[in-house]
Amino acid sequence: MMKTNILLIACGMIQDEITLALKNTGISYDTVWMSSDLHTNPDFLRIELQIEIDKHQDYEMILLAYGNCGKGLVGIFSEKTKLAFLRSEDCIQMLLHKNKKLKGLRGETFFITKAWMQGKKSLREEYHYAISKYGSRRAAIIMEIMFKNHKSLMMVDSGAYELENWIHCARHLSQVLKLEFCVTQGDVELLEMFVSLNWDHQVVVIPPKHEISVDDFGINCSVTGYENEID
């Protein structure tokens, strides 16, 4: 079913998962895929999202497939079009919303998916860059220092793609970083709910001319950063 009066603006970081959610629900939208690299800088993300929203004021509503994302959505508004988004901290919470231990895992766990390994600012690319600049031995030392406060590297199996081609690389990275490697089960059920428009309290709708605020994400998401950000 094609919904022509609604635009979906989604982060490339969860393109595989959004694509699966749309397939499972049988719904399609005009879609703008934003660069996954924007998530590393909330200010850049805010600017680019506002540009896209301003360009698409002929839709009745715009779905933003983003969470709080380091307050990257705070301050965004739409002149004529309603905005809707998930009351979620970030894409990690979207995929692991059923994991009751998620809050405790943050800070000591580096979460990884296929997309987290493909971006220009991904852990894999940072490692390869360090090797090319410093050599493999020194690169390993640098990466270990960067992740000294982490205990594990956790790969999220969202069901959106085969893990086989990515686990080997992820496991190798965990060995370089001297982190415990594990795979945890995620899902796209929250994204399915969002794109299907069968909404509950986890979806926020902002009327035209109103800015998105920190409070719109709820108390648990009001103060946050990117646990997966690489400096």
Alpha-carbon span 51 to 57, nearest angstrom: 11
Nearest to 24 by CA among 227, 207, 218, 192: 192
Question: Would you say residue 13 lies in a domain?
Answer: yes
Together in a domain, 174 and 205 = no
Q: What pLDDT score was predicted for residue 139? A: 84
pLDDT at 229: 46
- Residue 84, strand partner residues: 63, 205
Q: Is residue 230 assigned to a domain?
A: no
Same domain for 142 and 126: yes
The three-class DSSP label of residue 166 is helix
**Domain presence at residue 226:** no
For residues 54 and 19, state if they share a domain: yes
DSSP conformational letter for 216 = G
pLDDT score, position 219: 57
pLDDT of amino acid 150: 92
The number of domains in the chain is: 2
Residue 168, in any domain of the structure: yes
197 in the same domain as 164: no
Q: What is the number of alpha carbons within 13 Å of residue 136 lying toward its C-beta?
A: 2
Sign of CA dihedral 144, 107, 193, 156: positive
Map residue 152 onto helix, strand or coil: strand
**What pLDDT is attached to residue 145?**
87
Sign of the torsion angle spanned by Cα atoms 190, 210, 40, 64: positive
Q: Residue 130 domain-assigned? A: yes
What are the phi and psi torsion angles at 80 (to 5°)? -125, -20
Q: Report the CATH number that the domain containing residue 17 is assigned in CATH.
A: 3.40.50
- Please tell me the distance from the alpha carbon of residue 40 to that of residue 18, in angstroms, as a whole number: 20
pLDDT in tens, the chain (231 residues): 888 899 999 999 999 999 999 999 999 999 999 998 888 899 999 999 999 999 999 999 999 999 999 999 999 999 999 999 999 999 999 999 999 999 999 889 999 999 888 877 677 788 888 899 889 888 888 888 888 889 999 999 999 999 988 899 899 889 888 899 999 999 999 999 999 999 999 999 999 999 999 999 985 554 344 445 443
Statement to judge: residues 50 and 113 lie in one domain: no
**pLDDT at position 228:** 54
Domain shared by 87 and 198, yes or no: yes
- Domain of 31 in residue numbering reads as 2-91+188-221
| CA atoms of 77 and 87, how far apart (whole Å) | 16
| Angle in degrees, 0-180, between the axes of helices 136-146 and 123-134, rounded to the nearest 10 | 140
pLDDT of residue 40: 82
76 shares its domain with 125: no
How far is residue 109's CA from residue 47's CA, in Å, rounded to a whole number?
A: 29
| Same domain? 13 vs 83 | yes
Q: Are residues 13 and 24 in the same domain?
A: yes
Flag whether 231 is in a domain. Answer: no
